[in-house]
Structure 1
Amino acid sequence: MAPSNQKIAIKNVKVIPMDHDEILNNHTVLIVGDRIEKIAPSDDIELPTTVQTIDGSNKYIMPGLSDMHTHIAPSIFADNLDAGIKDLELYLATGVTTIRIMSGNEGHLQLKGLQTNGEVKGPSMYLGSPIIEGEHNVWDFALKITSQDEVPENIQQLNDTGYDFIKVYHTITKSVYKAIIDESNKMGLSVVGHVPFEVGIELALESGQRSVEHLRGYDFDGLSSEDLAKDGGRSAVRFKSMMNMSTKRRADLIEKTVQAGTWNCPTLVCYRLLHDFEQRLSLSNHEFFQYLHKTTQESIKYNDMDDIFSEESRQAMKIAEPSHSLLVNELHKAGAKIIAGTDTPVPYLIPSFSIIDEIETLFKAGLSAFDALNTSTADAHRFIGDYDEVGSITVDKRADLIILDKNPLEDVSNLWELNSVILKGELIKRSDLDSLRSRGAD
C-alpha cells in the first residue's frame, strides 16, 4: 500500500470509469495514499506542489481486472507456497488486482498473511472454503459432510478459520445442501460453487446460491442425479444435455436466474481447453509460460484431466461449446449477472493472462466490449460486495487501476497493451512489472 502522504497525478489521460460506458478525455486523476482524490479535466484541476506526475497522453486508465474463479498454488496442481507467490506476481504483472480463490487451504491463508504484512505483492485475495462434498467425493482433498447434523460445526469452523465464502460441490445431498445454505446465511457467508447433482439448478436458484460456476446445473438439467453420480458427471451425456435443452426450458431457467439474482461465472475458456489440444499447445509455447513457477508448469502440462474426461466426453464438449456461449449471451441479454473467471490452472490455463482470454471469449459470445470488461471490473466487485470501496474510477475509492496504451473499449484485446498498474495507490511501471514477471521461476 502506498504511504498515506504519497501523491500521484496521471495527467491528460483518457479515463474509462466503468461505472458507466463513457471515456473522459484529457482528464487528470489525482491519487493520495491509496485513494482517488480528484478526477477532473486537466485544464481545470489544481495539483499539489509535492506530487509525482505521470504523462497519460494517448493512454487509457481503468479499474484493475479481477479473475473470479482461480485455483492458484498451493493446490493439488502445484503444492508449493513459492509457486503461489509467483502466481500472485504474474497476475499483478497482467493487470489483475483482485482474485477469487475457489478452493482455499492453509497455504492460501498463509499467502493472505504475507500480503497483510507487506511481504508479498499481488492482487487482493477473496478466499473460498475447501470444497464441500458428500459420500462419493470426486476430490480427495474435499471436506466431506454426509449428514446435516455435521453442518453447523463445520460451517462455524470454516468461518472462524477466515474463509470469505463457502463452496459446494457435486456430491452433497439435498438435506446437507439446505443446511449449508441456512448455516452460512446465519454467519453472513455466501454459498457458491457447483450445483450438486441431487439439488439441480432450480433448487439452487430458489435457495439463494450466490454464484454458479461453469454453468453447472444448467448443463445437466433433466438428467438423473443417480446417473450423474456414477462417473462424477463426466460423461458425454452430461455435456450434450445443454445442447439438447429446449428453447422454452432455456428461457424458463434464464427467467428464474434473473428473478433469483444469481450470478454466473461461466469460465468459457476452460471448456474450450478441455477439448482443444491445439490451443493447449499454443499456450504451453506462449512467451508467458516460461515465467510460471516450474511446479506450476509441470502441473499444467501433465495434469490428469485427459484421464478424467474420455475422448467421447471431450468431443461432446466440443460439439456443445456453442450452446454454452449461447446461454451466456441470452442470460446477459435478459439481465442476469455475469462475472469473469478462468478455472486457472485447469487445464493449461495460465495464471494471469487467461483472464484476458476469458474476457475476449465473453465478447465473442455476444457481450459488448464495455459489458465484457464489466464482468472483470465493476461487476466483479459488486459480486464481492466491496463496490463502494473499489471497482470503478470514482472519488474516494481505492486506487486499484491499470494504464493501457490502447483503448480496450475499441478492442478488448487491447488489455494486452498494459503500461502500468496502480495497486492500492502504488504505481508499478512497465519495467517493474516485467521484472516481477521474470523474477526467478525456479
Structure 2
Amino acid sequence: MKLAPLSRIVFAAALLLGAAVPSTACAQIGADEVTAFENVTVIPMTDERALPGHTVVVRGDRIVAVGPSGSVAVPNGARRIDARGKYLTPGLAEMHGHVPPPSAPAQQTEDVLFLYLASGITTVRGMLGAEGQLELRRRTSRGELLGPTLYLAGPSFNGNSVNSPDDAVRMVREQRAQGWDLLKVHPGLNRAEFDAMARTAAQEGLRFGGHVPEDVGLMHAIAMGQETFDHVDGYVEYAADAQGRIDPAKLDSAVRATRAAGAAVVPTMALWEVLFTTLPLDSLLAYPELRYVSRQSVQSWVNAYNQRRASAEFSDPAANRRLIEARQQALAALHRGGARILMGTDAPQQFSVPGFSLHREFPRMRAAGMTPYDILATGTRNVGEYFQRNDAFGTIAVGRRADLLLLDADPLADVANLQRIAGVMARGRWIPADEIRTRLEAIAARNPR
C-alpha cells in the first residue's frame, strides 16, 4: 500500500540550512540562578487579562513568584531585567514541527533549533521521529544544546511501515520501550491496522495523532482515541460533497465529536496554500525569512512547487481554491464550536521556516474568527493543557516552567506584536534581543543567496 501523492509531500519535512561547522554547547541553567522581570505587564494566559506593573521571578527553570512589583521581593544577586513598557507572555509552541535527524550536520540541527527560539517558540512537538533523535531530546533538556523543549513522535505508522495488525502492535510496543512521547499516524493504514495501533497505544499509555487514513475516516479515528488531527485532516473529506461544498450539518457533527472527545486540531493552513499552489511563487520567494535557509533547500522547494503546478492532481486552480476555502470553513467551525486548536505550521517545510512560519499562520486564524487572545492561547495555555501530564507550562504562574516571551508591544492589541521580541526565556535560560539578532545574522551568513 503506497502513500497518496500529497501525503508523500508532507511525509518528510524538507531538510533545512547548510553545511556543518563545529557545534557550540549551551551551559545548563543552575538551580539557584535567579532572573527577575520587573515592572512588566504580564499576560498570564490563565484568562484574558493583562496585569501591569508586575514582577516575575524565575529560579532555575521555574517561575517562583508573580505579583505587583511592590509586593515581590527580588533576591540579592538576581539578574534584574527592567521591563517597564514591555509585555510578558508564556513561550509559544510549534505543535507540528520537525527537527533534523541525527544524520544531519550538527550546525544544521543547531540552527533549526535556534530559529524556533528566535521567534519565541519554547516547545516543539516533533512529528516525524528518526532513529537517534531521542538523544537530541536529552541534550536539549540537559542544556547541552540551546533549543526548545522537545516532545517527539516516533517513526510514523503508514502504509509502508505497517503491513498487518501485528505489525502495528509490534511498532507501538517498540516505540513505548524506546521512550517516544507519542505515535505519528500517516495515510495508508487500513482500519484493522489502525485499530490495532489505537488499542495497543491505549494499553501502553501512549497518545497518537497526525493524519486520518482514508480507510479509517475522521469519525472512527475520533472514536478510537486519536488526540490530534494535524492539517485539519479528515474534516473536509468527511463534510464535503464531490464538488468540494461543505455540508454545515456534517461539519458541525464532526466539531461536536472532536470537542466531546477532548481531541484537538493543528491547522497548518498556510502550508496547505503552498502545497495546493494557491499562493503565487513570486510572493513565496519574497519571504524575508528565506535568508535563513540554504540555497539548495529553496531551489528544491521551487522545483516541488513547479512540479505540483504542472501535475494533473493540481491542474485545476479553481478546485484548489475551493479546497483551501473549505479548510478555512472547517477551521472557523472548529473555533466557533469550542474545539481545542493548537498552534502549528509543519516547519521546516516548503516555504515554512521555523518560527517565522507562525506569523504566516496568524492571518488565517484571524480570518477564521479568532481574536488575538484566542490565537495566543493556541500556542500557550492550550498546549500546556495538552502536555499537563508531562510538565506544567503554558501560563505564567508559580511552579510553571520558565518559558517566557518578552515583547515590546501588546499582543492582545495586535497578534503581529508577537514579532516585536525583546527577549526569550527557555527553561530559565535568558536570550536577549541582541543575542537573537547576532545568532540570526550568523545563520544568514551561512546561507548566502
Give yes or no for TM over 0.5: yes
Pick aligned residue for 1:396 from 399, 420, 444: 399
Q: Is 1:209–2:221 an aligned residue pair?
A: no
| Match runs of 1:107-256 below 5 Å | 107-134=132-159, 137=160, 144-221=161-238, 243-256=244-257
| Match runs of 1:30-429 below 5 Å | 30-74=57-101, 80-134=105-159, 137=160, 144-221=161-238, 243-276=244-277, 278=279, 280-293=281-294, 296-303=297-304, 306-307=307-308, 310-312=313-315, 315-386=318-389, 389-429=392-432
Distance 1:242 1:393, change over 3 A: farther
Distance 1:309 1:417, change over 3 A: farther
| Unaligned residue ranges in structure 2 (runs of 5+) | 1-27
**Farther-moved stretch of structure 1 (166-175 vs 293-302):** 293-302
| Match runs of 1:1-40 below 5 Å | 1-40=28-67
Counterpart in 2 of 1:226?
Answer: none
In structure 1, distance between residues paired with 2:409 and 2:379: 18
In structure 1, distance between residues paired with 2:280 and 2:266: 21
Query: How many angstroms does 1:361 deviate by?
Result: 2.1
**Deviation string for 1:108-166 (max 9, x for gaps)?**
334224324533211111111222112xx4xxxxxx11111222222111222221111
Counterpart in 2 of 1:233?
Answer: none
| Partner SS state of residue 331, structure 1 | helix
**Deviation string for 1:202-225 (max 9, x for gaps)?**
101111111111121112227xxx
In structure 1, distance between residues paired with 2:163 and 2:390: 36
> In percent, how many aligned pairs have the same letter?
30
In structure 2, distance between residues paired with 1:174 and 1:396: 43
Is 2:238–2:250's contact at 8 Å kept on the other side of the alignment?
no
Is 2:236–2:330's contact at 8 Å kept on the other side of the alignment?
no
In structure 1, distance between residues paired with 2:312 and 2:134: 31
Distance 1:112 1:387, change over 3 A: closer
| Partner SS state of residue 106, structure 1 | coil
| Unaligned residue ranges in structure 1 (runs of 5+) | 138-143, 223-237
Query: How many angstroms does 1:105 deviate by?
Result: 0.5
**Deviation string for 1:191-245 (max 9, x for gaps)?**
11111111111101111111111121112227xxxxxxxxxxxxxxx8x758423
Is 1:356–1:413's contact at 8 Å kept on the other side of the alignment?
yes
Flag as ranges the 4+ runs of structure 1 deviating above 6 A.
none
Distance 1:296 1:161, change over 3 A: farther
Q: TM-score, normalised by structure 2?
A: 0.86
Distance 1:5 1:54, change over 3 A: same
Is 1:221–1:241's contact at 8 Å kept on the other side of the alignment?
no
| Partner SS state of residue 359, structure 1 | helix
**Deviation string for 1:297-317 (max 9, x for gaps)?**
444444468447733365423
Counterpart in 1 of 2:5?
Answer: none
How many residue pairs were aligned? Answer: 416
In structure 1, distance between residues paired with 2:339 and 2:148: 27
Distance 1:355 1:32, change over 3 A: same
Counterpart in 2 of 1:141?
Answer: none
Query: How many angstroms does 1:358 deviate by?
Result: 1.6
Is 2:190–2:215's contact at 8 Å kept on the other side of the alignment?
yes
Counterpart in 2 of 1:231?
Answer: none
- Which residue identity lines up with residue 37 of structure 1 in the other structure? V
Q: TM-score, normalised by structure 1?
A: 0.88
Distance 1:192 1:403, change over 3 A: same
